[in-house]
């Protein structure tokens, strides 16, 4: 279950946030086989003086519309899968939310089941291959 944090410029419309979230989610579902019901994306806004970045880092011209996507998930995806995932996220954000590919930063954090509890205070390692029964 990936957990995603997405930072967007202050004042980003709710509908655009939803398009960004859905673009990221669809890339995860298609790119790494994540189940469709595993949507967990915390969106935060940053304002002037809250996020500083080099607009020309690595030869890429960035705007004031920079989007930061941080994905935390269980380790085990190949570099090729990650490369394809990053491309799909960027493609989806450009096509659905008019975000320039130059303005998409993506960071991956990997860990193990022992680093998670996703409900009821249960150690995720104990339920790694099970579903809850609260529904």
Interatomic CA distance for residues 111 and 117, integer angstroms: 12
Span 35-74, pLDDT tens digits: 999 999 999 999 999 999 999 999 999 999 999 999 999 8
Model confidence, pTM: 0.86
Q: Nearest Cα to 66, choosing from 82, 51, 80, 78?
A: 51
Q: What kind and span of H or E run contains 87?
A: helix 79-97
Span 7-39, pLDDT tens digits: 999 999 999 999 999 999 999 999 999 999 999
- 1 secondary structure, DSSP code: -
CATH number for domain 3-127, candidates 3.30.429.10, 3.20.20.70, 3.40.50.1370, 3.40.50.300? 3.30.429.10
């Amino acid at each position: 279950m990936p957990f995603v944090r997405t930072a967007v410029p202050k004042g980003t419309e709710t509908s655009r946030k939803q398009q960004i979230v859905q673009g990221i989610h669809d890339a995860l579902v298609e790119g790494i086989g994540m189940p469709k019901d595993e949507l967990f994306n915390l969106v935060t806004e940053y304002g002037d003086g809250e996020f500083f970045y080099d607009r020309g880092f690595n030869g890429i011209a960035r705007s004031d519309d920079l989007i930061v996507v941080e994905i935390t998930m269980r380790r085990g995806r190949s570099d090729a899968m990650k490369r394809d995932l990053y491309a799909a996220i960027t493609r989806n954000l450009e096509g659905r939310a008019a975000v320039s590919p130059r303005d998409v930063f993506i960071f991956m954090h990997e860990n193990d089941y022992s680093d998670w509890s996703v409900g009821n205070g249960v150690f995720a390692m104990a339920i790694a291959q099970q579903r809850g029964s609260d529904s």
